[in-house]
Structure 1
Amino acid sequence: MNNFFALALVVIASTALAEEVELRGQLIQGGMVWGQVAPGTRVILEDDTVQVADNGIFAMGFDRDAPAKMTLKLCVSDDQCEARVLDIEQRHYDIQRIEGVPQKTVTPPASVLERIRREAALVREARAEFLYRQDFTKAFVWPLQGPITGVFGSQRVYNGSPGRPHYGVDVAGPVGAVVTSPADGVVTLTHDDMFYSGGTLIIDHGQGISSTFIHLSKILVKDGQEITQGQPIAEVGATGRATGPHLDWRMNWFGKRLDPQLLVGDMSAPNPPLQD
């Protein structure tokens, strides 16, 4: 069974304020959940207002370092709210040491800093979009089959210098291996050569939930293109800051980093058949 569709928690019991609301997904660091409320209900996670679609469906996520307790609040008016504390499972992250990365990508020269800032802004802009799609409510599948060589949340040390945590799952594969879309969506960013991530592709699955694929050797889709699950979207590469060919698949809820592995089943299990 796909982990994503396990019931996470009943957060609001039936009251005069709101009907019972279920969150589907996992209450865990790196997890994503979604639910549905009565139209017009405001949803607030801690101090962040969660955008709700016209049909009441909302999505939200918990980043790598989310605290153990978070408050979810539903409001039908400023003075009519129901709150419940969510217990967020805490995780232990591995430390990975990687040698042989070109030193200029570990400590980039001043001459490329403006390029890095410009590319980071493009990615932030693509992830900040709110599209009224709800592709995230369906099961995700692996975009590539192969050995997993990197996991979400691990701290990487490049050439002895601590780097940022790894925010995706790495799947090894030869250059040119076809990458397929893990879910329906729309392309919001394509870039052939970013400094850190090389060939980069972002697909939006709706309401802030997006997939990012990096280190690609070739991108097979275009900005604005509608994508279906299982459709070829790119080819594996070793571009950007990579020591060998692999796919780095990342997921976000807007700026929050999510763990793609929590949304897919065991890689040894076959993907469900595609619908014609």
Structure 2
Amino acid sequence: MFTFAGELEQGGWIRGIVPQATVEATLGEDKLAFDEAGRFFAAFDRDAAPAIKLVARFADGRRIESPLAIAPRDWEIEHVNVARTPGGPSAAFMKIRQPELDAIWNARLKETGARGWQQDFIWPVTGRISGRFGSQRIYRGEPGSYHSGIDITTGTSGTAYVAPADGVVVLAVDDFSLEGKLLIIDHGQGLNSAFLHSSRLYVEEGDRVTQGQHIGDIGSSGRATGPHLHWSLKWRNARLDPLLFTGPMR
């Protein structure tokens, strides 16, 4: 059977080992990567359904299924009695924005062989949590986009932040329109961290980083109302809650 442990709830994750002699494994429709020892990482989107299956397939056609129950979350939802702003981004803005989105997408597809996914993650910086993962506004019944990461502020620019786990830098840019100075680190097996709005970056694309290494300073670059670190985690296309990786801030 599969063996695994982790946080089986929306925005959560598991680490485990596939059954011996497995040739292919999936979580729902996602094909899992596993190493020579059969170890794998998988995760559950903020809006994950309450039930999903781990499936292992063998060379002789047999399969093993392990059903998982994913606990729902009570997200921080704010109902506002105003209409959502109509329309979308302008053509002029999207001419700038689309290459940035493409660069972010391509960076997250890179496979570097990093093994940070095996580690217990640490907080990149300690401070006040000013924005929680999954929070969302509803405009007269119409949902806005939810907050895709966690915001941490220390009140000033220039505070150092560190790598929460080992990895490889797959994107490091100075001037994206929304993110400002943006850093994306691959932790392996499809798991990556993004750090937004920095005032300074200390690593470059291709650099290997270790857990606890100083990689940037908090700032307010890009579209930000004040200095803070926006830290988000993704596994494939699933957006994850950093709090479920680190536990409460101490």
TM-score (norm 1): 0.81
2:91 equivalent among 110, 113, 122: 110
Aligned position for 1:274: none
Q: 1:67 to 1:126 in 2, by over 3 A?
A: same
Structure 2: distance between partners of 1:206 and 1:94: 30
Asked whether 1:201 is paired with 2:191, we answer no
Structure 2: distance between partners of 1:61 and 1:193: 30
Counterpart contact for 2:172–2:205, Cα < 8 Å? yes
Give the paired residue count. Answer: 241
Aligned position for 2:39: 57
Q: Which amino acid aligns with 1:53?
A: D
SS of equivalent residue, structure 1 residue 164:
coil
Q: Over residues 30-71 of structure 1, what are the superposed CA-to-partner deviations in whole Å (9 max), with x where a residue is unaligned?
A: 111111223543111112211222331211110010000001
Counterpart contact for 2:21–2:58, Cα < 8 Å? no
Structure 1: distance between partners of 2:51 and 2:129: 31
Counterpart contact for 1:28–1:88, Cα < 8 Å? yes
Structure 2: distance between partners of 1:216 and 1:231: 16
Once the 2 structures are TM-superposed, how far is the Cα of residue 78 of structure 1 from its aligned partner?
A: 6.5
SS of equivalent residue, structure 1 residue 119:
helix
Structure 2: distance between partners of 1:180 and 1:97: 35
Aligned position for 2:170: 188
Q: Superposed, which structure 2 residues align to 1:43-192 within 5 Å?
A: 43-77=25-59, 79-95=61-77, 108-156=89-137, 163-173=144-154, 174-192=156-174
Aligned position for 2:208: 226
Counterpart contact for 1:127–1:255, Cα < 8 Å? no
Q: 1:214 to 1:243 in 2, by over 3 A?
A: same
Q: Over residues 97-145 of structure 1, what are the superposed CA-to-partner deviations in whole Å (9 max), with x where a residue is unaligned?
A: 89xxxx9xx9543212022111111111111123323221111110011
SS of equivalent residue, structure 2 residue 196:
strand
Structure 1: distance between partners of 2:157 and 2:46: 30
SS of equivalent residue, structure 2 residue 199:
strand
Counterpart contact for 1:131–1:208, Cα < 8 Å? no
Structure 2: distance between partners of 1:89 and 1:162: 22
Q: Which amino acid aligns with 2:221?
A: T
SS of equivalent residue, structure 1 residue 117:
helix
Q: Which runs of 5+ in 1 are unaligned?
A: 1-11, 13-20, 269-276
Asked whether 1:249 is paired with 2:205, we answer no
Counterpart contact for 1:209–1:251, Cα < 8 Å? yes
Q: Which runs of 5+ in 2 are unaligned?
A: none
SS of equivalent residue, structure 1 residue 233:
strand
Q: Which amino acid aligns with 2:15?
A: W
Counterpart contact for 1:46–1:72, Cα < 8 Å? yes
Structure 1: distance between partners of 2:35 and 2:9: 24
Q: 1:78 to 1:118 in 2, by over 3 A?
A: farther
Q: Over residues 179-227 of structure 1, what are the superposed CA-to-partner deviations in whole Å (9 max), with x where a residue is unaligned?
A: 1111111101001111111111011111111111001111110111010
Once the 2 structures are TM-superposed, how far is the Cα of residue 24 of structure 1 from its aligned partner?
A: 2.2
TM-score (norm 2): 0.89
Q: 1:203 to 1:87 in 2, by over 3 A?
A: same
Q: Which moved more, 1:171-180 or 1:124-133?
A: 124-133
